Amino acid sequence: DKGGHKHFMAKEIAEQPVAIDRALRAYLGSEDGRQLPEDLDFTTVDRLTMVACGTGYYACLVAKYWFEQIAKMPVEVDVASEFRYREPPVSPNTMGLFVSQSGETADTLAALRYMEGKAAQIVGLVNVQESSIARESDVVLPLHAGPEISVASTKAFTCQLVILLMMALKAAQQRGHPLPDGLPEDLRALPGLIHQCLSLDAQIKDAARDLAKAQDIIFLGRGVLYPLALEGALKLKELSYIHAEGYASGELKHGPIALIDEKVPVVVMAPRDALFEKTVSNMQEVMARGGKVILVTDAEGARVAGDGTHEIITMPQVPDALAPILYAVPAQQIAYYTAIAKGTDVDQPRNLAKSVTVE
């Protein structure tokens, strides 16, 4: 049942405020006392190894910034298909964290089994509670996203981010580091903020009509928005079959800038955070070479850096740590509406399966 939507993907994008609210209620600690499981313990470990595939991997890359900056914890992130065969040494003080919507991804499960017996604790962050990864983890954190039918992962990704941020806050507390101003209280505003982002789809439809004509599209982001550039590019190629790449905007001049001309649209994800100025100067290098920029930023960002851009998508103003969660929504909608403009099969893109149970 698509609940009145044209596609499961549209339904699942629209469900994000409710799904995130459910994840917050399950773990944030409220009057009814529910919070992250007690056996999720950061006092006995001194490093974190996160392993996943696809969109789950990008959620881990975002979480690396959070765990490093907020909890001052060394973090390694890898794609499961590389990790499992690299024979990485695992110190006994490591927490292994496996992120998977389905809980059945073959490579992620094999990576988990590789760490079993070597790591201090195996933690599974899964949407499907009766899955192999859930069964084989010491501690399981269900995403509470609700069933995700569309091949493209949307609400599972934002729920992964929300829970990973809560985990980073717990790690900070247990390791004796102060929490960033406003957190965790600001998390409670997320469902409402996501709801506001959903109404930006009219602007995104306009941008998507242009994007659908392109052969190559580049996504740029910096800091915690860099993994969002990767996720935006993955979603777009999965759904519209347009070649797309995400880059850390600071890497632009080390190669990718050679691709820029008036035919290559560049989506820049840049909330007005501490790195904004730097991202904007990378964006200006793109515009100076004729690149058409679609800038995703907040009102203040649009005011100071909007000149000369092709299109601006104006997001709500948010605390820095929450930005990647909110910027997931335009990344999803850009892919969705570009696919609609191209007429591809949104829910069941060619060559892809929802759950990849073979390597």
The rounded distance, in Å, linking the Cα atoms of 246 and 251 is: 10
| Range 129-138, long-range pairs (CB < 8 A, 24+ positions) | 129/103, 131/100, 131/102, 131/103, 131/104, 132/103, 132/104, 133/98, 133/100, 133/103, 133/104, 133/105, 133/108, 133/109, 134/103, 136/109, 136/112, 137/98, 137/112, 138/39
Q: Is the dihedral of CA 91, 92, 94, 97 positive or negative?
A: positive
- 27 or 58: whose CB is closer to ligand M6R? 58
- 123 or 305: whose CB is closer to ligand M6R? 123
CB of 351 to ligand M6R, least distance (A): 11
CB of 127 to ligand M6R, least distance (A): 8
CB of 187 to ligand M6R, least distance (A): 22
CA angle (14, 297, 343) in 5-degree steps: 45
CB of 355 to ligand M6R, least distance (A): 6
DSSP state of 120: S
Secondary structure element (H or E) that encloses residue 18, with its range: helix 16-27
- First-residue to last-residue Cα distance in the chain: 31
- 134 or 260: whose CB is closer to ligand M6R? 134
- 51 or 71: whose CB is closer to ligand M6R? 51
- 42 or 98: whose CB is closer to ligand M6R? 98
Residues found near ligand M6R in the complex (CB under 6 A): 53-56, 100-102, 105, 108, 151-153, 238, 352, 355-356
CB of 52 to ligand M6R, least distance (A): 6
Place of tokens 């991804």: 105
Radius of gyration of the chain, Cα coordinates, nearest whole angstrom: 20
Q: Is 354 a catalytic residue?
A: yes
CB of 177 to ligand M6R, least distance (A): 29
Among candidate residues 2, 118, 278, 354, the one labeled active-site is 354
The rounded distance, in Å, linking the Cα atoms of 48 and 120 is: 10
The dihedrals phi and psi of 274, each to the nearest 5 degrees, come to -65, -20
- 42 or 157: whose CB is closer to ligand M6R? 157
Neighbours of 254 (CB within 10 A): 9
The edge-to-edge listing of strands for the beta sheet with 75-79 is: 75-79, 47-52, 94-100, 121-126, 139-142
Q: Which residue number has the CB closest to ligand M6R?
A: 54
| Contact status, residue 132 vs residue 357, Cβ threshold 8 Å | no
Q: List active site positions.
A: 354
